[in-house]
Structure 1
Amino acid sequence: MSTRKLPIIDKQLARAINQYLSQAGFTNTSAALQDECETRKISLNKSTKNHIRSSQLEDFKRRLLQAFENGKQTAFFKIWDELFSKAPTRSSISILEFRLHIYFATIPLRRHPTDKHEYKEKLVDLKHYLEEGPGSKLAVNSELVPYFALPYVTDIHKHPVFKELLQPKITSGSCSPYPKSSQRVPSCL
């Protein structure tokens, strides 16, 4: 009888595989790999070891969509940051996050009656995000450059670029206000 010797597994390779599985949504497979690595005394780094289980993910999705639909920007981004703040793919979702900031800034103008005071407050937050926050890094993206002018437009309803942001189609049954990013939302959630 020969005893089978387990092969030595490279820690970096195990971490990379686990990271891929987590990013691709293979949470059960990722959990199994983590359990196997623990059994073999292979240490996975903290960010991949603390993965989100599918039941937790469903709760995050529910709360995130509820905050989105109710226009609760602070609650939405708190949950968003819990999900994505340490994600290695953070840069890949930055454009979607940018568009979400624009969406939330314009919500007061889509309400009836419009709340111009709240809109001005939202513009202050948006301006900070665009000038000093993570949005500032996206100023090199030619697709997003026009949105950097939004805080300075006096009448968004008449502006040829921005008036589309106020159309009802943006909120009616759509998870994202922007056609190009709407397909990304479910995969991010």
Structure 2
Amino acid sequence: MSPRRTGRRPGNPDTRESILAAARAAFAERGFDATPIRAVAAAAAVDPALVHHYFGTKEDLFRAAMAIPIDPAELVPRVLAGGRDEVGERMVRTFLGVWDSPAGTAAVALLRSAVSNQWTARLLREFLTTQILRRVVDRLDLDPAEVPLRGALVATQIAGLAMMRYVIRLEPVASATPDTLAATIGPTVQRYLTGPLDGG
């Protein structure tokens, strides 16, 4: 008698792909917050319980739909661990750690696609906004009215750094050490997070 298998069953590949296709379309059209699991299930013509069975939470489904090999829930605590005034530097260092790792290959491919594909750009925007930046800024006790602008400004720095270092490969940024980039770009990210926005 063969040993009994444990854990989540792999399921039907066609069903999984149908769910992922429906999820990508829904997240791109509605955004992460406005996309309930039941809407994805309806579009894929499956029971919502099956979506949970294959993918777990909505966050897990979103990450699978985008083929992101990282879990923001594991990264954000690293950014927030320590003093409030060093969040910008830790954010740059954490992002570089991901992009410089094997997981960064998928991230670079996604970034390249987002430049020329509006659908992918919307997904990437949703991922950065809801899964990473929101989780950081919500812990910094900021003026709620300033949060959208602060998050968007941080995104310009992080996305710009990724584009110059990994896609365009602009020197000396492309070959600079993570310590150098964290020390030089981190203060700008910090100002966008917690500094004055009126130029004062």
User: Structure 2 length as normaliser, TM-score?
Assistant: 0.30
Mark the structure with the bigger radius of gyration.
1
User: Structure 1 length as normaliser, TM-score?
Assistant: 0.31
> Greater relative contact order (Cα 8 A, min sep 6): structure 1 or 2?
2
